[in-house]
C-alpha cells in the first residue's frame, strides 16, 4: 500500500493491551485518512449515543493523512477525534506541529485509545516497539516541562510529544492536547478526554518512512504547489505577520469583536496585530509545522513587566481577540503571556478567553459579585485577573475557576439570571470562536451547521469577502455570479458553505492545511487529487475527492443525529441573533431567525437532508455508501 500505511494502532488503557489493525485500499479511498478515517472509527467504536465523554467508552483517536510525511506543502496537519466533553457530540480538533509527521514516519495512520488507565501513564512509540509506561513523575507538570522531561528520559532529541497540561488533568472542558509544545488540538476538549483516560503524553519517534507510488509525478506536483503557494499574497502575509496579519483590516470593517462581542471596533488595536509583533521586536522566530512552506506560526517573547523574557509560541489571531480585545486588554505583552499560560497549562485560547469575557461581563452586570470572585475586581481590562483566572481555571482552584472550567454554557446555566444571553455559545454548547458572524452571512450559516459547535475551522467561507481575484473567481464558479462575493447577502450562502465543507473535509483528511486551500487557494481539489493519485497509485479524480469530503460531512452529521441532534441545534449564540452591531459600515446588522431559517432550508435541500428535522435522509447516505452507518443509527433514531 502506498501513501497510507494501512495500519491502525489500538491501545486499550484499561487492560494495557496494544494491537495493530490493518485496513485495505478501498476503505482508505472511501474515507481518505485523518479526519475521515477517524470519524469512521469513532462512529464504530462508540456504538451508542449518550455516553459519558469522561467514561471508558469514549475513544481518543489520532489520525494522519496520506499526504502527511511527504513534500506536499502544508501537509503536516493531524486530527484528533473524540466525543466532546463540551458538547457531548462529535468532537474533532486539528493541529499542525511535527507530531503528525513523526507518527506517519513511525508507520501508523491512526492511533486509537480505548478505556481508562488506572494510574498516570504515557505511550512510547518507536516504530513497531510500542509500550505504556508509568507517568506518575510527569503528572502535574506543564506541557513544556513534560516535553523536555520525556526527551531527556527517552534520550531522543528528535522525539515528538503530544501531551496535556494541568488543565487536561483536571478535566477542564476546553483543555487542549498540545503537540510540539505550542501546537494545540484545541477545540472541543480533547485534552480533558485524554486527562480522563489518565494518559499524560504520547511520545513518538519514527524511522520507517512513507512509501509513495509515483515519486517523480508527486515531486513535480509538490514543486508546482510550492511555487503557487510562494507566489500567493495571502501566504506571504501569513509568513510575514502570522495569522494576526489581518487584525487591522478586520477592525476597520468593524468585525473585530471586543468586550465579549458588545463592540465590533476598537480604537487602538495596534498592539494586538502581527505587524506590532514584528516591529516591536516581540517576534523572535517564524516557525513552521511539518512540511509547511508558509510558516505562519510565531515564537515571541515578553519584553516588559514582571514576566520579562518569557517566551512562547503564538499568539495567533484568535488569542489576540479572545484574551486581548475580548477581555478589554490591549497590550502585546499580556497577549503573549496569556498565550504562554494557555500553551503551558494546555488550554484552548478561544474558549478560555470566552469564559473569562463572560465572567467579566457578568461581574459588571452584577450577576457575579465580589463574593463569587474572592474579592477580585473582575472588570473588563483587569489584566492581572486574566492571568490569575487562567491558572485558577486550569487547576480548578477557586470556586470561580471551577465554575468557568465547565465552559460558558454550563456556567451560565449554573449562575442563571439571564447570564446565558451573553454566553457566546450556541445550543451545541461550544464557545464561539471570536469571529463576527453578524456581518458575514456565509460564516453564520457555516457556524450554525458545524458539527462540533460554532467555529471557523471546519468551514471557513473566507472567499465570500472577495478580497482577492481568486476568491471572486471561486465565488463565480460556485454561484455563477461575481456579485455574490459579498458577505452581506444570504443568497447562495448554502452553495458556498457546502463547497467549503467538502474541501475542508477533504483537505483535513489528506492532512493538508486549510490555509493553503481556502485562505490562499494555492492548493485546490485538482492538485490535491493529483498528489493523492501520485502518492497512493490509485487514480482519484477531483470529483471523487470532493465526494469523499461530502461522505465525511454526512458521516459526522449521522454521528450527531444518533446523539439526538437535529435542526434545533443548528443555531447561533443569542447575542449574535438578537443584538445588532453598534458601529461602522455594518451598523445594525445581525442574524435573524428568518435569515438563518432561509439559509438552513436551502442548505438542507442542497444536501438532500430532511428540511424539517435537518437529519440526513436514508436515501442520501445510502447513495454515499454509508448504508451500514445508516442502519446503525436507525437502532436509535428513525432516519427520514
Partner 1 sequence: METEYSIRNKYIKNLGDDVHRREQLNVLHVLETPPSAYKSKVTGKRMLWYIDPTKCTGCKQCVAACSLTKTMRYEHEESRIYVKRAESLGWSIPLVCEQCVSAPCADVCPVYAISRDVETGIVEIDLGKCIGCRLCRYVCPWGKETIRIREVEGFHGLKAVKCDLCGGDPACAKVCIAGALQWVEFTGDSELKRTTSKGRARDIAAMNVEGCI
Beta bridge partners of residue 203, listed in sequence order:
124, 161
* Residue 180 or 409 with smaller CB distance to partner 1: 180
What is the nearest approach in angstroms of partner 1 to the Cβ of residue 151? 5
What is the nearest approach in angstroms of partner 1 to the Cβ of residue 235? 9
What is the nearest approach in angstroms of partner 1 to the Cβ of residue 623? 36
Residues near partner 1, by CB under 8 A: 69-71, 73, 76, 98, 101, 105, 144, 147-148, 151-152, 155, 157-158, 180-182, 206-212, 215, 219, 222-223, 226, 229-230, 239, 284-293, 295, 297, 299, 311, 313
What is the nearest approach in angstroms of partner 1 to the Cβ of residue 159? 8
Compute the distance between CA of residue 223 and CA of residue 73 in angstroms, rounded to an integer: 9
Residue 539 makes CB contacts below 8 A (sequence gap 6+) with: 533
Residue 174 makes CB contacts below 8 A (sequence gap 6+) with: 86, 167, 186, 187, 188, 189, 192, 347, 348, 350, 351, 352, 355, 407, 431
In terms of C-beta density within 10 A (0-12 exposed, 13-18 middle, 19 or more buried), how is residue 377 classed?
exposed
Residue 215 makes CB contacts below 8 A (sequence gap 6+) with: none
* Residue 98 or 410 with smaller CB distance to partner 1: 98
* Residue 139 or 219 with smaller CB distance to partner 1: 219
What is the nearest approach in angstroms of partner 1 to the Cβ of residue 122? 17
* Residue 148 or 489 with smaller CB distance to partner 1: 148
What is the nearest approach in angstroms of partner 1 to the Cβ of residue 293? 4
Instruction: Look up residue 41 and give its three cell numbers.
Output: 472509527
* Residue 234 or 453 with smaller CB distance to partner 1: 234
* Residue 109 or 502 with smaller CB distance to partner 1: 109
Residue 323 makes CB contacts below 8 A (sequence gap 6+) with: 315, 329, 334, 335, 338, 339, 342, 349, 352, 353, 356, 386
SS (H, E, C) 581-626: CCCCCCCCCCCCHHHHHHHHHHHHHHHCECCCCCCECHHHHHHCCC
* Residue 230 or 486 with smaller CB distance to partner 1: 230
Residue 332 makes CB contacts below 8 A (sequence gap 6+) with: 271, 272, 276, 277, 280, 282
Compute the distance between CA of residue 332 and CA of residue 181 in angstroms, rounded to an integer: 21
Three-state secondary structure call for residue 565: coil
In terms of C-beta density within 10 A (0-12 exposed, 13-18 middle, 19 or more buried), how is residue 48 classed?
exposed
What is the nearest approach in angstroms of partner 1 to the Cβ of residue 166? 17
Which is nearest to 440 in space by CA: 584, 247, 590?
A: 590
What is the nearest approach in angstroms of partner 1 to the Cβ of residue 217? 12
* Residue 199 or 226 with smaller CB distance to partner 1: 226
Which is nearest to 551 in space by CA: 505, 514, 493, 608?
A: 505
CA 150 to chain centre: 26
What is the nearest approach in angstroms of partner 1 to the Cβ of residue 239? 8
Burial 444-460 (b: 16+ CB within 10 A, else e): bbbbbbbbbbbbbbbbb
Contact criterion met (CB below 8 Å) for 3 and 529 = no
* Residue 337 or 474 with smaller CB distance to partner 1: 337
What is the nearest approach in angstroms of partner 1 to the Cβ of residue 625? 30
* Residue 136 or 311 with smaller CB distance to partner 1: 311
Amino acid at each position: 500500500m502506498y501513501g497510507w500505511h494501512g495500519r491502525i494502532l489500538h491501545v486499550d488503557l484499561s487492560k494495557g493491551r496494544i494491537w495493530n489493525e490493518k485496513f485495505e485500499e478501498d476503505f482508505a479511498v472511501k474515507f481518505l485518512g485523518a479526519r475521515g478515517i477517524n470519524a469512521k472509527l469513532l462512529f464504530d467504536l462508540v456504538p451508542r449515543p449518550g455516553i459519558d465523554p469522561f467514561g471508558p467508552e469514549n475513544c481518543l483517536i489520532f489520525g494522519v493523512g496520506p499526504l502527511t510525511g511527504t513534500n506536499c506543502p502544508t501537509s503536516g496537519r493531524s486530527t484528533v477525534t473524540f466525543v466532546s466533553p463540551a458538547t457531548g457530540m462529535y468532537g474533532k480538533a486539528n493541529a499542525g506541529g511535527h507530531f503528525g509527521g513523526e507518527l506517519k514516519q513511525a508507520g501508523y495512520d491512526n492511533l486509537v485509545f480505548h478505556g481508562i488507565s488506572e494510574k498516570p501513564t504515557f505511550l512510547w512509540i518507536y516504530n513497531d516497539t510500542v509500550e505504556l509506561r508509568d507517568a506518575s513523575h510527569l503528572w502535574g507538570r506543564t506541557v513544556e516541562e513534560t516535553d523536555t522531561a520525556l526527551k531527556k528520559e527517552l534520550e531522543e532529541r528528535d522525539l515528538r510529544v503530544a501531551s496535556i497540561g494541568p488543565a487536561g488533568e483536571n478535566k477542564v472542558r476546553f483543555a487542549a492536547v498540545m503537540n510540539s509544545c505550542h501546537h494545540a488540538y484545541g477545540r472541543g476538549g480533547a485534552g480533558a478526554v485524554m486527562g480522563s483516560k489518565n494518559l499524560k503524553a504520547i511520545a513518538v519517534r519514527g524511522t520507517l518512512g512513507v512509501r509513495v507510488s509515483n515519486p517523480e509525478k508527486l515531486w513535480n506536483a509538490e514543486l508546482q504547489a510550492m511555487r503557487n503557494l510562494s507566489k500567493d499574497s495571502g501566504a506571504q502575509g501569513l509568513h510575514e505577520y502570522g495569522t494576526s496579519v489581518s487584525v487591522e483590516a478586520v477592525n476597520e470593517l468593524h468585525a473585530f469583536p471586543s468586550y465579549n462581542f458588545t463592540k465590533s471596533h476598537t480604537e487602538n488595536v495596534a498592539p494586538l496585530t502581527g505587524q506590532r509583533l514584528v516591529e516591536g521586536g516581540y517576534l523572535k522566530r517564524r516557525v513552521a509545522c511539518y512540511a509547511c512552506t508558509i510558516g505562519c506560526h510565531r515564537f515571541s517573547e515578553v519584553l516588559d513587566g514582571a514576566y520579562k523574557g518569557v517566551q512562547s509560541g503564538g499568539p495567533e489571531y484568535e488569542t489576540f481577540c479572545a484574551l486581548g480585545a475580548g477581555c478589554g486588554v490591549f497590550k502585546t505583552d499580556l497577549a503573549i503571556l496569556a498565550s504562554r499560560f494557555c500553551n503551558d497549562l494546555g488550554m484552548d485560547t478561544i474558549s478560555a478567553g470566552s469564559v473569562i469575557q463572560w465572567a467579566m461581563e457578568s461581574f459588571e452586570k452584577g450577576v457575579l459579585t465580589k463574593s463569587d470572585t474572592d474579592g477580585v475586581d473582575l472588570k473588563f481590562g483587569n489584566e492581572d485577573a486574566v492571568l490569575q483566572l487562567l491558572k485558577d481555571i486550569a487547576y480548578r482552584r477557586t470556586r470561580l475557576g471551577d465554575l468557568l472550567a465547565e465552559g460558558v454554557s454550563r456556567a451560565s446555566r449554573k449562575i442563571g439570571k439571564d447570564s446565558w444571553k451573553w454566553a457566546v455559545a450556541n445550543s451545541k454548547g461550544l464557545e464561539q470562536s471570536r469571529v463576527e458572524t453578524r456581518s458575514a452571512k456565509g460564516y453564520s450559516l457555516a457556524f450554525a451547521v458545524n458539527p462540533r459547535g460554532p467555529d471557523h475551522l471546519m468551514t471557513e467561507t473566507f472567499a465570500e469577502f472577495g478580497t482577492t481575484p481568486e476568491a471572486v473567481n471561486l465565488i463565480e464558479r460556485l454561484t455563477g455570479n461575481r456579485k455574490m462575493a459579498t458577505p452581506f447577502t444570504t443568497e447562495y450562502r448554502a452553495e458556498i458553505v457546502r463547497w467549503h465543507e467538502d474541501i475542508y473535509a477533504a483537505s483535513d483528511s489528506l492532512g493538508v492545511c486549510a490555509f493553503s486551500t481556502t485562505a490562499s487557494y494555492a492548493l485546490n481539489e485538482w492538485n490535491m487529487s493529483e498528489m493523492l493519485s501520485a502518492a497512493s497509485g490509485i487514480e482519484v479524480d477531483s470529483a471523487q475527492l470532493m465526494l469523499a469530503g461530502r461522505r465525511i460531512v454526512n458521516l459526522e452529521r449521522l454521528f450527531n443525529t444518533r446523539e439526538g441532534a437535529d435542526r434545533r441545534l443548528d443555531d447561533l449564540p443569542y447575542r449574535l441573533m438578537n443584538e445588532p452591531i453598534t458601529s461602522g459600515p455594518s451598523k445594525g446588522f445581525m442574524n435573524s431567525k428568518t435569515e438563518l431559517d432561509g439559509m438552513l432550508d436551502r442548505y438542507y435541500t442542497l444536501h438532500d437532508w430532511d428540511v424539517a428535522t435537518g437529519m440526513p435522509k436514508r436515501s442520501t447516505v445510502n447513495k454515499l455508501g454509508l448504508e451500514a452507518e445508516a442502519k446503525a443509527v436507525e437502532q436509535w433514531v428513525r432516519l427520514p
